[in-house]
Structure 1
Amino acid sequence: MPARPDRTLRDKVVVIGGASRNLGGLLAREIAPDGAKVVVHYNSDSSRDKAEQTADDVRKAGGEAVTHQGDLTRVAEVEKLFDAAVREFGKVDCVVNTAGMVIKKPMTETTEEEFDKMFAVNTKAAYFMMREAAKRVEDGGKIITIVTSLLAAYTGLYSVYAGSKAPVEHFTRALSKELFGRNVSVNNIAPGPMDTGFFYPAETDDSIAYHKSSAMNGDLTKIEDIVPYVRFLLTDGWWLNGQTLFVNGGYTTR
């Protein structure tokens, strides 16, 4: 039988969008002992210290890391992120985009400015991260975007949030097909409401209790619940392609 392909992260260059904290930060730290080379992206000066701490943690755990600041809603900044990865490590093997923004309010109260900002972060940035990843990743690479389990929900109040995440599913299907022949997989992970600072500002005590009650253990999704699935897609899960995985304890199904 032929030798089993190497599906490890050793010496793989992994660009993580939004890696200063929460899911992106934990993923960076978790893949460090595998010998990954991590590009820790962060958006603004307020995240710089946390991004540098993430990079330090990666190095202490056995990986390599570099930080890079950029506004992913600007295409030139997306290109610069990948330029930095290639300049520092010589290549890009994997891209994981965890960056996103949430808003919860009735459609009748949503402003044009809020609409434009949400689609810039959740749709435009995701699209051009995927576009640039497709240009830069090595054959056999992996491209993963974090979306939301609300894509499978019948609910109000999240129209512009879930609506701005929904196009990413089609982006993923289209790009995965376009990259046939290069052995590059393109997938999404759709977590349930996650127990992070990203979640709570948009919610009330009652809605938090409702979200918790909708999962099998009566709790929110933890970032520690999601990282193993990202790692799987980056390694042994390479045969999954063009898919959205709803990792949410039964919060929604499809």
Structure 2
Amino acid sequence: MTDTTTRVALVTGGSGGIGRAVVERLARDGIAVGVHYAGNKARADETVAAVTAVGGRAITVGGDVADEHAMAEAFDAVEREFGGIDVVVNTAGIMLLSPIATLDLDDLDRMHRTNIRGTFVVSQQAARRVRAGGAIINFSTSVTRLQFPAYGAYTASKAAVEGMTLILARELRGKDITVNAVAPGPTATPLFLDGKDQAAIDNLAKTAPLERLGTPDDIAEAVAFLAGPARWINGQVLFANGGVA
């Protein structure tokens, strides 16, 4: 029998980095979690095993976030297993850096497919399925305010995420569903650290008044806040960056 009283979340990109931290944080709040992966099922299985080892409930679901049929099936799988969906956290994304003048346009298309279309597809499914009292949480970046060189195409994709998030919040009037975006600052994940030397990392760590990089757990706390007690925060972009901007 399905327990329809348990709160349920689907976390895209939940197999590693910030996504895994979000999965484990929500599970600590007693939320059953669908752990989505795009290509690395083994890592998603490891995340599920970590949750179930401490008494939580989780399953893996796969698929390209930009494929509406794959995402419909991912949502279906979570609903079949747990009885419904209350929280959707869309951490899936890719970041390819280059000055605008020299960016390979294939990289632009790849980022926009995952970051814009993928967020749109997942948000569309979430808007149709999330139960009353639920939350939809997308991911932007603090670079929309920081304007770091070489982040132009990535930031453009995340500015689009902010725009659709804020409009969706208004479109769901009367449904008791909040829609927000989290915009991390420099965070110590493989996605962020890849290709940076130690001097660059140290300089970025000093930009925040707290004088350190964020951690995936820092970002997961912001997500848990929006997923649970923060019912009066809606249609907002929450900058989780230690005061960088």
After TM superposition, is the score higher than 0.5? yes
Give the distance between the partners of 2:24 and 2:141, measured in 1 at CA. 23
Match of 1:11? 6
Looking at structure 2, the residues matched to 220 and 141 of structure 1 have their Cα atoms a distance apart, in angstroms, of: 30
TM-score (norm 2): 0.94
Match of 1:39 among 5, 15, 34: 34
Matched, 1:169 2:170: no
Check whether the contact 1:29–1:61 (CA below 8 A) recurs between aligned residues. Answer: no
Match 1:110 to one of 95, 103, 112: 103
Specify the code of the residue in structure 2 equivalent to 1:249.
Answer: G
Query: Which runs of structure 2 are paired with 1:1-254 in the superposition (5 Å)?
Result: 11-44=6-39, 47-252=40-245
Q: CA shift at 1:37, angstroms?
A: 1.0
Structure 2 stretches of 5 or more lacking a match? none
Q: Is the 8 A contact 2:17 2:216 kept in 1?
A: yes
Letter in 1 for 2:18: L
The number of aligned residues is 241
Provide Cα deviations, 1:80-102, integer angstroms capped at 9, x if missing partner.
11111112112111100111111
Match of 2:60, SS? strand
Please, what TM-score do these two structures have when normalized by structure 1?
0.91
**Matched position secondary structure for 2:176:** coil
The C-alpha deviation readout for 1:91-146, integer Å capped at 9, x for no partner, is 11110011111122111111110010010111110111111100010111100012
The answer (yes or no) to whether the contact 1:187–1:243 under 8 Å persists in 2 is: yes
Q: Does 158-167 or 215-224 show the bigger shift? A: 215-224
In 1: Cα distance, 2:31 partner to 2:238 partner: 24
Which portions of structure 1, spanning 4 or more consecutive aligned residues, are displaced by more than 4 angstroms?
Answer: none
How much identity, in percent, do the aligned residues show?
35
Q: Gapped runs of 5+ residues in structure 1? A: 1-9
Superposed CA RMSD in Å reads 1.4
Measured after TM superposition, the shift of residue 156 of structure 1 is 2.1
Distance 2:65 2:100 in 1: 26
